[in-house]
Amino acid sequence: MTTKFGGSGADGQTPGGPVPAVVQEWQRASVRMGWRMPEDWLVPEAAAVAGAVDNPAALAAAARALGGMRGRQGVGIAETMTDLLALFESLERPIDPDAMTELAVGWVESLEDAAPASCTDVLTGLASPAHFQRAVHEAAMAGLSGGKVVGAIEFARNPGGVRLSWALLAEIGVAARATLPGADMAFLSGVDVLQFLMEDTPEHHALAATCQRELQALRNGALGPASMTFRPAPVTGLQYLEFLSVVRSQG
C-alpha cells in the first residue's frame, strides 16, 4: 500500500513531498497492533505527531490534536491509545506519558464537541446514560469529584435479556429519585443497572442501600436480586476514560 495524504497522485507524493518514513513505519506498527482501518489512519495530525517526537512540548500538543481527530473519526479510546503506543514501539523509544495523557484529553474533548445528547430518559425520568456520563466528566474536569463515588446497583438479568415494561421503568425512576434525592443517576435498561454519582459518606451509602431495597421490592421482586458496587469518582481525564470503558462494557 502506498501511503499518501489527501488522495494525492499515484506516485505517493504530496504537495509537501513524500510521506516521511517515520510515519509509514508508525502506520505499519499500528496495523500490526490492531488498527482496523488502514485506509483511514493517515491524517495530518498523525504526521504532526511524528514530526514532534524530539520536542516533548510540541509532541504533547500534537498528541492532543490527534486525540481529538481520532474521536471525531469515531475511533475508540483503546484503539486511539494503542495507535500512539505503536509510534513509540516503532521508534524503539520509551512511552511519553505526557503525550499519552494529552491524547486522551483530546479524545474526551471531541465528545464534548459532538451534538448534545438528550438530557432525560423519557422512560425512567432519570438522566439519559449519555447525560450521566457527561455529568461525571464535567465534575471530574471541574475538580468537584473529590469525596464522591460512582455507584452501581445491578440486577440479575432476566431470561433472554427481555426489556422491562414501560410501567416498570417509570416506577424505577420514581423509586430512585425518592431514595437518592439530588444524585445524578441513569438506568441502563438493556442490562438492568442503575448508576449514580453521590457523596462518599455513611449517610449517602445508607440512602443507596435504601434505594437498592426499594428497587428489589418493586412488583414483588420483578427485577430480581441486586448487587451494589462503588468506585471512586474519576478526578482526572484518564480516570474518566477508565470509568467510561467500564460503563460501555456494561451497556
Evaluate the CA torsion angle 201, 203, 206, 211 in order and state its sign: negative
Q: What percentage of the chain carries pLDDT values higher than 90?
A: 43
124-133, 160-169, 200-209, 223-232: segment of lowest average pLDDT: 160-169
Q: Name the nearest CA neighbour of 223 among 174, 134, 157.
A: 157
- Distance from the Cα of residue 42 to its chain's centroid: 23
Tens of pLDDT, residues 80-116: 999 999 999 999 999 999 999 899 888 888 876 655 5
Phi-psi region of 115 (alpha: psi -120 to 50; beta: other; left: phi over 0): beta
> What domains can you pick out in the chain, each with its CATH number?
21-112 (no CATH), 129-250 (3.30.70.270)
Quote the pTM value: 0.55
Q: Name the nearest CA neighbour of 35 among 96, 87, 72.
A: 87
State residue 90's pLDDT score: 95
Q: Tell me how far apart the alpha carbons of residues 36 and 119 are, in angstroms, rounded to a whole number.
A: 32
Helix (H) or strand (E) holding 51: helix 44-51
